[in-house]
Amino acid sequence: MLTAGPTHEKIDPVRFIGNYSSGKMGYAIAEELAERGAEVTLISGPTQLHVTHPSIHKISVESAKEMYAASMEHFDTMDAAIMAAAVADYAPENYASQKLKRDGEDLILRLVPNPDIAASLGAIKEKQILVGFALETQHAEANARKKIEKKNLDFVVLNSLENKGAGFQTDTNIISILHRNGEQQDYPLKSKRAVAVDIVDYLEKSL
Ligand code: C5P
């Protein structure tokens, strides 16, 4: 199972809070898994991407809460779950059912925390391998290791924004994989499709 893409948190019928995630990394991993014979459940936020492989079963969601519900529903039958989505940390507390009007005054939006999907799966996991992503701008490795503990991950794929060519919207990525056993593997700049091969190789070794 994979989560991928951004989430959109609705403000009113025509506005949302989102982020720049393209979904490319998650979809590339889904393709690689399917090509190796896996049945893949891809829980995807809104993206421009399409799946073609018949073994990828896509569930489209919009918000973090919907992504959480779909992930919790499917997790117990999975061998592994890869959390590649850029989940919004906060959502507007209230949804306005009519388009908000401009009235010249300040507009105050109160945001409330979204559920942490990876941590929720980490808390209930049995035999599943749980993989997280970390996108850090500073103290990358230390923060990634904290995530392993907090979310009960088996390993974390770290992309550092200090690296050019890594992260959101690009077709390339530079990653390190940090395992909960202390192991670390660094990889050079590659296309996201080639990075997906490295991640799935590493996952296969862990299964
Ligand atoms: O805590 P942080 O957002 O940095 O952690 C990133 C990892 O946690 C990613 O694997 C992301 O998909 C996952 N995550 C999640 N639910 C959230 C926030 C992050 O599954 N609400």
Tell me which of 7-11, 35-39, 99-103 is least confident.
99-103
Residues contacting residue 198 through CB under 8 Å, at least 6 positions apart: 175, 177, 187, 190
The per-residue pLDDT for 138 is 86
* Residue 181 known to be catalytic: no
**How confident is residue 21, by pLDDT bands cut at 50, 70 and 90?**
very high
Alpha helices in the chain (DSSP H): 24-35, 64-74, 117-124, 140-151, 192-206
**Ligand 1 pocket check for 152: Cβ under 6 Å:** no
pLDDT tens digits along 71-84: 999 999 999 999 99
Across the range 58-65, mean pLDDT stands at: 98
Beta strands per DSSP E along the chain: 2-4, 9-12, 15-17, 40-44, 56-60, 80-83, 90-92, 111-113, 129-136, 155-160, 172-173, 175-179, 184-186, 190-191
The per-residue pLDDT for 163 is 67
**pTM of the model as a whole:** 0.95
- Closest protein CA for atom 4 of ligand 1: 134
Distance between Cα 89 and ligand 1 center (Å): 8
User: Rounded to the nearest 10 degrees, what angle do helices 140-151 and 117-124 cross at?
Assistant: 50
**Ligand 1 pocket check for 134: Cβ under 6 Å:** yes
Domain 2-90+110-206 has CATH 3.30.70.270: no
The per-residue pLDDT for 46 is 98
The per-residue pLDDT for 85 is 98
For the chain, give the percent of residues with pLDDT over 90: 88
**Ligand 1 pocket check for 85: Cβ under 6 Å:** yes
* Domain extent listing, the chain: 2-90+110-206
For residue 36, is it left (φ>0), alpha (ψ between -120 and 50) or beta? alpha
Q: Which of 68, 87, 129 to mutate to test the pocket of ligand 1 (most atoms within 8 A of CB)?
A: 87
| Neighbouring C-alpha atoms within 13 Å toward the C-beta of 68 | 15
